A and B are shown apart, each in its own frame.
Chain A
Amino acid sequence: MNDSLSIPHLILNASLVVQLVMLLLIVGSIASWAVIFQRGFVLRRARKAHRTFEDRFWSGVDLNELYRETPAEQEVHGAEHLFRAGFREFNRLLPKTRSSQAILDGVQRAMRVAWSREEERLNLHLTFLATVASASPYIGLFGTVWGIMGSFMGLSMAQQATLSTVAPWIAEALIATAMGLFAAIPAVIFYNRLSAQASRLLGQYEDFAEEFHSILHRNLQGRDERDAA
């Protein structure tokens, strides 16, 4: 009797629909954990890279030197991406126009584009976590409802309506809900945590973009005065 109530036994003896629901939930859980790990690594690395780059940037190094340090074809991320996009646009526009406003507009535009690319990169797949977090309890509940439905159908056939005839069915059905929650709870927690980290990083990028913009603005201001003189 007790043997038939062990969790693996219940899972193996469940009806096909409940088994499919369980399979779906297991796959969802594995995928969400994979996303959690991957995002965790990505965000940690991005945070570290941002700190290194800011230290480098504010160390008083010449911006042209900083720009030339990394080859153009290498892909860069984070604040460095913003910096390179803005500085490239600045260098391109500088010989073409005399209006400092036009140059600053172009730089700002380029940096905004780079920033939204970074946002997309950091938030990649986080929506999947949100989906798992919100959907898997319902999926598990569906499995439970289906299983209990089956138990009552079976009950109508049985001669005696004792608890022991219903119990295995209900236990089996409840496993689906448990698995749904098992998948959903980490997804919810880590979705909140990871998205908070990502938005904090994006805020830092934004701050950097503003600071860089003001530096360029200062340089242009100096050039205007030189031109005027």
Chain B
Amino acid sequence: MARPKNRVGYGLPVILAIVLHVGVLAITLLRWPTSDPEPTSSAIVKATLVRTETATDKAQRAQEAQASAAEAKKQQKADQAEQAARKAEAEKQQQAEAVARKKAEADKQREAELQALKQAREQAKEAARRRAEEAARAARQKAEAEKQRQAEEAARKKAEAEKQRQAEEAARKKAEAEKQRQAEEAARKKAEAEKQRQAEEAARKKAEAEAQAKRAAEAARQASEQALAQSIAGEEQAIANARQASEAANGFKNLVKRAVEQAWIIPSSAGNQQRAVVRITLLPTGELVDASIRESSGNAAFDRSVLQAVERAAPFREMQSLPTSAQRQFREFNLDFNPEDVR
């Protein structure tokens, strides 16, 4: 009778048992990674958001500043042409002009101004003629004002210009303007109007020449002024941006602090000198991601009460209404706790 091998060795059973255990282990290992990614992914998102914020913010701000500067330049050019052509009043305006002129090339500006002066001269001629015939006071005043501006510009450095500036000042106060008007009226009565006009024209021409010379001299100065003013404008813009952001930020921070203080139950063991700094991490929706003690007060109960206060005050919905740049800033921030503030 041919019998099969009787003895059963332990080799195969041991291998089978080990394979079985490895299989069970593999199942437990394989099932875990599928549930793992959720938490880790959220952690990654959190980390990257906090890190990238500064870099992008800077670039954005720089871009904004450049864009606004370019816009300002364009506007300034346009304003310059207009102002040079039409309005010639007051030192205020001139200052504005000086600020505005920064950008423009010196030659271009000078040409524009020359043209403007020519136009003004023609206008003045016509006005004077009209005045002589119809005594259009308003027109004449305008012409006078133009002349005065030119005279004033010239007189700023020269002795002759001083006279004209005095006249202009008088006109500005309207006392001199009336005087002149009276004088003109008298002249008209005396039929010396033409003479006066000629004199005025001569004076105007002289003033124009002087103004031109002065402008040429000022061209260089303006070029340097331009750079300065541009930097000033940029700085102002940056300051304004920063102020706006910091105002919003302070507002939100105060809000959070007030909410947390209201929710804070100060433990009796806390002394006034104790102080804890809490690091708060928020979502863009204002929900609390994490709050941890950054600087411990040394009193465990105190630290715990602080954390509980933050958690109780938690969803800071005002976060949603913040501008994006400020929101980034508040993804992570510190809060300073001191019982003295509340008591």
Contacts and interface: CB of A to CB of B under 8 A. Distances in A.
B36 A2 contact: yes
Contact of B16 (A34, A52, A182): A34
B32 A6 contact: yes
Given A2-B39, A160-B304, A45 B8 contact: yes
Nearest to B307: A160
Given A45-B4, A159-B300, A34 B13 contact: yes
Interface in A1-50: 1-3, 6-8, 26, 29-38, 41-42, 45, 48-49
A37 B303 CA distance: 59
Interface stretch (A68-76, A102-110, A214-222): A68-76
Interface residues of A, number: 33
A77 interface: yes
B3 A76 contact: yes
Contact of A34 (B4, B17, B32): B17
A49 B4 contact: yes
B4 A33 contact: no
A36 B32 CA distance: 29
Interface string B1-31: 1011010111011101110110010001100
Contacts of B28: 7-8
Contacts of A75: 6
B40 interface: yes
A42 to B, nearest CB: 5
Contacts of B52: none
A33 B36 contact: no
B10 A38 contact: yes
B13 A69 contact: no
A104 B10 CA distance: 39
B35 to A, nearest CB: 7
A34 B15 CA distance: 8
Given A3-B36, A34-B10, A160-B300, A26 B4 contact: no
Contacts, number: 74
Given A3-B40, A41-B8, A42-B8, A69 B1 contact: yes
Given A33-B16, A34-B13, A38-B8, A2 B21 contact: no
Contact of B1 (A6, A26, A70): A70
Contacts of A37: 12-13, 16-17
Contacts of B40: 2-3
A56 interface: yes
Nearest to B1: A69
Given A8-B29, A38-B8, A45-B8, A56 B1 contact: yes
A75 B6 CA distance: 8
A121 B38 CA distance: 55
Contact residues on B (Cβ < 8 Å of other chain), bracket: 20 to 34
Contacts of B29: 7-8
Contacts of B16: 33-34, 37
Contacts of B1: 52-53, 56, 69-70
A159 B18 CA distance: 44
B13 A35 contact: yes
B18 A7 contact: no
A110 B157 CA distance: 145
B18 A30 contact: yes
B44 to A, nearest CB: 12
A30 B17 contact: yes
Interface string B212-248: 0000000000000000000000000000000000000
A34 B32 CA distance: 28
B36 A6 contact: yes
A2 B35 contact: yes
Contacts of B35: 2
A21 B24 CA distance: 19
Contacts of B303: 159
Nearest to A69: B1
Contacts of B36: 2-3, 6
Interface in A140-195: 159-160, 182
Contacts of B21: 26, 29-30, 33
A167 to B, nearest CB: 15
Per CB-CB distance, the 5 closest pairs between chain A and chain B, nearest first, are A33-B17, A37-B13, A38-B13, A34-B17, A34-B13
13 contacts: A2-B38, A2-B40, A3-B40, A29-B21, A31-B17, A34-B16, A38-B8, A41-B8, A45-B4, A49-B6, A69-B1, A75-B6, A76-B3
Interface of B: 1, 3-4, 6, 8-10, 12-14, 16-18, 20-21, 24, 28-29, 32, 35-36, 38-40, 300, 303-304
Given A6-B32, A31-B17, 7 more contacts: A7-B29, A29-B21, A30-B21, A37-B12, A69-B1, A75-B6, A182-B24
